[in-house]
Structure 1
Amino acid sequence: MRLSTVILPIYRWSEGRDVWRRAEDLGFHAAYTYDHLSWRSFRDGPWFGALPTLAAAATVTRRIRLGTLVTSPNFREPVTLAKDLMTLDDLSDGRITLGLGAGTTGFDATVLGGEGWSARERADRLRDFTALLDRLLTEPAVTHDEGHYRAHEARTIPGPVQEPRVPFAIAATGPRGLRLAARYGQAWVTTGDDRVGTDGTPAASRVAVGAQVARLEATCAEVGRGPSTIERILLTGFTPDRPLDSVDAFVETAAAYRDQGITEIVLHWPIADSQFAADRATFERIATEGLAQLG
């Protein structure tokens, strides 16, 4: 199992550079960030752009993978995003992962002045967005004139450092999203089952995630893909589990989800006075000792 973190883009870079460097020093496999224009309880506080933050992080780290959890079509366009991803992959020497999801009806969906899309339209747009982005990152010139997105002789030269392209980690739980993950994803992302949420029991959450993994594997089989070829990422913080309470709590939580088929656990970098508050010393012990105790 891999252990990663997600660092919310709330820091001025004079402070943020030390956070991203520390994530690498602690040995995390990857450090992700949210790709939102603002987010829930952080809406009225500092919140910086995800892609510039990742570009800066790429220049102060050398090993750790970097990425978004997750990017959505709510305010992104495939042509411009492909160019930015190619640049980020170059800056990081091939360490970028793109998390992709359909987005929600929240702030990001209306901040540009339009009405939020229905669930069906969000799913349609993610399908078209992902398919075009895949072409843009694997072909030097693309013309595309169908679905919700267009490209006319769009150039992505010289292309990403990683081949055939930057990996996609697709967040999905419904049938359409799982098919998209099975077709295009190098990884799949879950935050748990909304029907369990944070008010249910850890046992119920783990069974629900196991059922999601089973549906993912069945979908992979339907499209002729080996289920073991896709990584399974759990972004913690939205289930009843409390993995940051102690090293033992982390080990118990990680082992339970590993048994359900999860291959990567992502912990939120602690933020005081927020839903992601945690003891920093415990967090760092988990980062350096947790996987070894998992066995």
Structure 2
Amino acid sequence: MTGIGTLILPEHGRRSGTALWRDAEELGFDHAWTYDHLTWPALHGRPWYDAMGTLTMAAFCTERLVLGTLVATPNYRHPVLTAREALTLAELSEGRFVLGIGAGAAGPDSAATAGPELAPAQRATRFEEFAAILDLIRRQTVTSYQGTHFSAHEVWTFRGRDDPIPLAVAGTGPRAMAVAAARADAWIASGVPGQFGDEEAFGVLRRQLGRLRAAREAIGRPAAMGALVSLSRIFADPYGSPERLADLVGRCADLGFTDAVVAWPRAEGAFAGDRTAFEKATSHVRALFGHDGSGPFAGARRIWG
């Protein structure tokens, strides 16, 4: 395991938000993430802010912490504008930004812009185009692309550094896996949100990682790549004790995951938890599995010259 991170929901204004992101850095997390949705049904009627704006705030109140979206989708984002925001965040954070992307599911985000509901195959095609344009823009100076859902025409990009922004791709279907295998620096596990017991969940994760490795090998890329698992979406009470969290992280590392994320404890509702227990358990795990400066997000840890 090369990195331990946390997830902070984009529900905080300036004062409470800057305090939380600073706390995440001071506690020693390697990376911290936020959700990218227009709304979130679990917190309907309560504050919910834009992910890119939230991460901009986080960039200015931290110095070391790698920051990322978990995840941006084409449900309401255009890849050209998303790429421009990502490049800006990479600059403002001095190279500490990771762009996490996914296909996006049907629901409030998809319906908000009043577009037609897409069939699964159409959604997969749209994501392939979304990822392709983002990948091209992060790697080259001028990008043109013609697709069914998205296009780009002579999009000029200032190259502020040699290494492209790290790209992390979520998805468990064959076409999303193919996108991850071909384009991503890391894969984000997202296919078992709280549906199974521990053993069943580990079995699903093992099979998903196997399919990812097979997809990499099929196109001649090394089977190994970065893999991030969001423990709080998958396992019940992940930091109930330091030993509980250490066991989960250790077993994920044995499967081949390079990074693990635990949601920051909230007072109530989604991801509710005890902060003292959270700090004790995550401190224990970081001591056991502290990163060595390698891993899929190492490029995002290098400060720009």
TM-score, normalised to structure 2, is 0.91
Answer with 99-108 or 282-291: which moved more: 282-291
Partner of 2:110: 109
Is 1:181 aligned with 2:180?
A: yes
Q: CA deviation at 1:240?
A: 3.7
For structure 1, list consecutive stretches of 5 or more residues without a partner in the other structure.
none
Contact conserved, 1:247 with 1:290, CA < 8 A, in 2? yes
Partner of 1:282: 277
Matches within 5 A, 1:24-43: 24-43=25-44
Q: State how far apart, in whole Å, the 1-side matches of 2:281 and 2:117 are.
A: 39
Contact conserved, 2:97 with 2:165, CA < 8 A, in 1? yes
Cα-to-partner distance string for 1:125-171 (whole Å, 9 max, x where unaligned)? 110011111111222222222332112221112x354x431111100
Q: CA deviation at 1:250?
A: 0.4
Partner of 1:214: 210
Matches within 5 A, 1:128-139: 128-139=129-140
Contact conserved, 2:74 with 2:127, CA < 8 A, in 1? yes
Aligned-partner residue type, residue 189 of structure 2: T
Q: State how far apart, in whole Å, the 2-side matches of 1:291 and 1:59 are.
A: 24
Contact conserved, 1:89 with 1:160, CA < 8 A, in 2? no
Could you say which structure has the greater relative contact order, defined with CA pairs below 8 angstroms and 6 or more residues apart? 2
Partner of 1:242: 237
Give the one of 250, 265, 269 matched to 2:264: 269
Cα-to-partner distance string for 1:199-235 (whole Å, 9 max, x where unaligned)? 422011111101111111111111111122x111111
Q: Would the alpha carbon gap of residues 191 and 151 (structure 1) be closer, same or farther in structure 2, given more than 3 Å must change?
A: closer
Q: State how far apart, in whole Å, the 1-side matches of 2:23 and 2:248 are.
A: 24
Aligned-partner residue type, residue 111 of structure 2: T
Is 1:227 aligned with 2:188?
A: no
Aligned-partner residue type, residue 184 of structure 2: G
* RMSD over equivalenced CA pairs, Å: 1.5
Aligned residues: 289
Contact conserved, 1:191 with 1:236, CA < 8 A, in 2? no
Q: CA deviation at 1:294?
A: 5.5
SS at match of 1:227: coil
Q: State how far apart, in whole Å, the 1-side matches of 2:43 and 2:102 are.
A: 20
SS at match of 1:70: coil
SS at match of 2:129: helix
Q: CA deviation at 1:119?
A: 1.5
TM-score, normalised to structure 1, is 0.94
Q: Would the alpha carbon gap of residues 160 and 244 (structure 1) be closer, same or farther in structure 2, given more than 3 Å must change?
A: farther
Partner of 1:68: 69
Contact conserved, 2:66 with 2:97, CA < 8 A, in 1? yes
Q: State how far apart, in whole Å, the 1-side matches of 2:144 and 2:172 are.
A: 31
Identity in percent: 35
Q: State how far apart, in whole Å, the 1-side matches of 2:77 and 2:85 are.
A: 11
Is 1:90 aligned with 2:85?
A: no
SS at match of 1:10: coil
Which contiguous aligned blocks of 4+ residues in structure 1 show a shift greater than 4 angstroms?
none
SS at match of 1:165: coil
Aligned-partner residue type, residue 53 of structure 1: T
Q: State how far apart, in whole Å, the 2-side matches of 1:148 and 1:160 are.
A: 29
Give the one of 201, 205, 208 matched to 2:201: 205
Q: CA deviation at 1:287?
A: 2.5
